[in-house]
């Protein structure tokens, strides 16, 4: 559509510029990594109406060439840093803050002991660099924004949790962005056998012009490990964000996610799970709300590659104003993935008749001994329930707010962190209130 973006050329140029500026200060493995991603980027084209994967969202891809440059370097003492301080809620565990793509050491708190490893890509040992190079998402042909991330990558975060290590406190990653341009947050996490941890990724920021976050997170869960993953795509509404999280799960590993999405000019999060070995389980929860002219696209893909794996997914979406929400959930069951259990549920509320919700829950099944089900609903608040509350003296707007909160509450209550849960509840309540005042 009417994107004036010269793609991929402007990002190829940005990548070249990055190399020119940093060729002497960047480790050789990262240069090689960037180069490989750049080659892939050159093969990419911008999604169009005919790109099945983008059929509902391509029309929101309206960016100009100005976006293809790194964000300015912010002084953490400057006035804008106060918006960082406002948005940064310390969860009390280890904390890594990135501001406009740069590690903000003064705001971060790295682990005091060596119970696990967390460090920047620039600090990796040869062995660790190899893990990242080999374990990172490589198929960017269908996902050009991951290629942008790789080709323009200045730094990233590496996390490795050793065998049988159980981290009680969450690992908190905070990505803050302001100004004009593109930022490319990248995380690589490996949980060794029997390790247990909670990873929180939060994105904040604001802009007066155009800002794109193209994020990539790669997660490798080895046997018996468990990761609770909380992702808060909750930047201010002027920011665009297209992100990818890929998870590879080995035997008996467990992945439990909660993704919260707020709308923007174009927002999309792809969560791709591969259940590679028997006994792996994943449970994906998501809540998404858009207002005004906002857009948000949830893409999930669960690939059952091995037998005896289980997946369970539940996404609830609310669209008000003139906004647009997409849910595209895909469960794919390979030939050998017998005894698979898969369940997917997607429930949607349309608050106005100017909003749009598109849902595409797909099952692709090549094994016979499976039990799979999905259910989708799109609807509005129940008139009788509303009426019931109003007869008890509650104002119609308030009643609608209560019921809408109730619609997502079941998932919010499952967030495995009290502080985030409370914050999410409060935030949802405010947004939903404003949605009903909008009318």
Residues that bind other proteins (CB under 8 A): 52, 56, 335, 338, 348, 350-380
**How near is the Cβ of 341 to other proteins at its closest, in Å?**
11
Closer residue to other proteins, CB minimum distance, 72 or 375: 375
Residue 247 to residue 300: CA distance in whole angstroms: 11
Q: How far is CA 8 from the centre of its chain?
A: 23
Name the phi and psi angles at 268, rounded to 5: -150, 140
In angstroms, what CA-CA distances link 37 with 29, 55, 136, 176?
Answer: 12, 25, 11, 24
Closer residue to other proteins, CB minimum distance, 242 or 351: 351
Q: For 3, what's the count of Cα atoms within 13 Å in the CB-facing half-sphere?
A: 22
Name the phi and psi angles at 225, rounded to 5: -80, 165
**How near is the Cβ of 343 to other proteins at its closest, in Å?**
10
**How near is the Cβ of 304 to other proteins at its closest, in Å?**
12
Closer residue to other proteins, CB minimum distance, 207 or 310: 310
Nearest to 396 by CA among 383, 380, 409: 383
Closer residue to other proteins, CB minimum distance, 36 or 374: 374
**How near is the Cβ of 153 to other proteins at its closest, in Å?**
34
Residue 176 to residue 324: CA distance in whole angstroms: 25
For the chain, the first-to-last Cα distance in angstroms comes to: 30
The angle formed by the CA atoms of residues 59, 63 and 64, to the nearest 5 degrees, is: 140
Residue 98 to residue 323: CA distance in whole angstroms: 30
Closer residue to other proteins, CB minimum distance, 153 or 357: 357
Closer residue to other proteins, CB minimum distance, 92 or 396: 396
Which residues share a beta bridge with 197? Answer: 227
**How near is the Cβ of 281 to other proteins at its closest, in Å?**
19
Closer residue to other proteins, CB minimum distance, 185 or 286: 286
CB–CB of 325/264 below 8 Å?
no
In angstroms, what CA-CA distances link 409 with 180, 212, 301, 386?
Answer: 36, 30, 24, 17
Closer residue to other proteins, CB minimum distance, 370 or 415: 370
**How near is the Cβ of 21 to other proteins at its closest, in Å?**
43
**How near is the Cβ of 360 to other proteins at its closest, in Å?**
5
Give the three-state DSSP class for 6. Answer: coil
Closer residue to other proteins, CB minimum distance, 45 or 380: 380
Give one DSSP letter per residue of 213-263, joined into a string: EEEEEEEEE-TT-EEEEEEEE---TT-EEEEEEEEEE-TT-EEEEEEEEE-
**How near is the Cβ of 301 to other proteins at its closest, in Å?**
13
**How near is the Cβ of 400 to other proteins at its closest, in Å?**
12
Closer residue to other proteins, CB minimum distance, 74 or 357: 357
Give the three-state DSSP class for 334. Answer: coil
How many Cβ atoms are within 10 Å of 366's Cβ, its own excluded?
Answer: 12
Name the phi and psi angles at 423, rounded to 5: -65, -40
The angle formed by the CA atoms of residues 258, 264 and 268, to the nearest 5 degrees, is: 50
Closer residue to other proteins, CB minimum distance, 56 or 158: 56
**How near is the Cβ of 275 to other proteins at its closest, in Å?**
17
Q: How far is CA 424 from the centre of its chain?
A: 16
Closer residue to other proteins, CB minimum distance, 94 or 313: 313
How many Cβ atoms are within 10 Å of 292's Cβ, its own excluded?
Answer: 14
**How near is the Cβ of 388 to other proteins at its closest, in Å?**
19
Nearest to 297 by CA among 359, 248, 238: 359
**How near is the Cβ of 419 to other proteins at its closest, in Å?**
34
Name the phi and psi angles at 11, rounded to 5: -80, -30
């Amino acid at each position: 559509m009417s994107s004036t973006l010269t793609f991929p050329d402007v990002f190829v140029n940005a990548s070249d510029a990055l190399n020119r500026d940093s060729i002497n200060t960047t480790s050789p493995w990262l240069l090689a990594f960037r180069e490989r991603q750049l080659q892939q980027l050159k093969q990419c084209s911008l999604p169009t109406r005919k790109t099945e994967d983008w059929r509902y969202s391509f029309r929101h891809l309206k960016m100009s060439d100005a976006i293809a440059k790194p964000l300015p370097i912010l002084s953490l003492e400057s006035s804008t840093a106060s918006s960082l301080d406002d948005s940064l809620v310390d969860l009390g565990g280890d904390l890594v803050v990135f501001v406009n793509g740069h590690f903000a050491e003064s705001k971060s708190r790295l682990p005091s002991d060596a119970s696990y490893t967390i460090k920047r890509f620039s600090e990796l040992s040869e062995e660790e660099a190899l893990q990242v190079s080999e374990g990172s998402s490589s198929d960017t042909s269908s996902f050009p924004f991951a290629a942008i991330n790789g080709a323009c990558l200045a730094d990233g975060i590496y996390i490795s949790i050793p065998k049988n290590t159980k981290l009680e406190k969450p690992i908190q990653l905070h990505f803050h962005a302001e100004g004009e341009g593109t930022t490319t947050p990248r995380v690589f996490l490996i949980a060794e056998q029997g390790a247990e941890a909670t990873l929180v990724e939060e994105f904040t920021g604001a802009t007066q012009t155009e800002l794109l976050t193209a994020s990539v997170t790669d997660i490798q869960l080895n046997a018996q490990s468990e990761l609770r993953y909380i992702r808060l795509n909750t930047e201010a509404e002027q920011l665009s964000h297209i992100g990818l999280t890929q998870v590879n799960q080995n035997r008996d590993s467990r992945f439990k996610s909660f993704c919260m999405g707020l709308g923007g000019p174009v927002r999309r999060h792809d969560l791709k799970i591969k259940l590679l070995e028997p006994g792996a389980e994943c449970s994906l929860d998501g809540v998404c709300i858009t207002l005004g002219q906002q857009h948000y696209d949830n893409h999930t893909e669960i690939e059952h590659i091995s037998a005896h794996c289980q997946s369970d997914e539940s996404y609830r979406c609310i669209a008000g104003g003139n906004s647009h929400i997409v849910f595209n959930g895909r469960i794919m069951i390979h030939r050998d993935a017998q005894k698979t259990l898969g369940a997917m549920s997607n429930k949607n509320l349309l608050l106005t008749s100017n909003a749009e919700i598109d849902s595409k829950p797909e099952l692709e099944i090549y094994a016979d001994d499976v039990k799979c089900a999905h259910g989708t609903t799109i609807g509005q608040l129940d008139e009788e329930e509303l009426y019931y509350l109003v007869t008890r003296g509650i104002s119609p707007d308030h009643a609608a707010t209560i019921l809408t909160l109730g619609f997502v509450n079941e998932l919010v209550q499952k967030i495995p962190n009290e502080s985030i849960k409370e914050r999410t509840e409060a935030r949802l309540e405010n947004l939903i209130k404003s949605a009903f005042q909008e009318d």
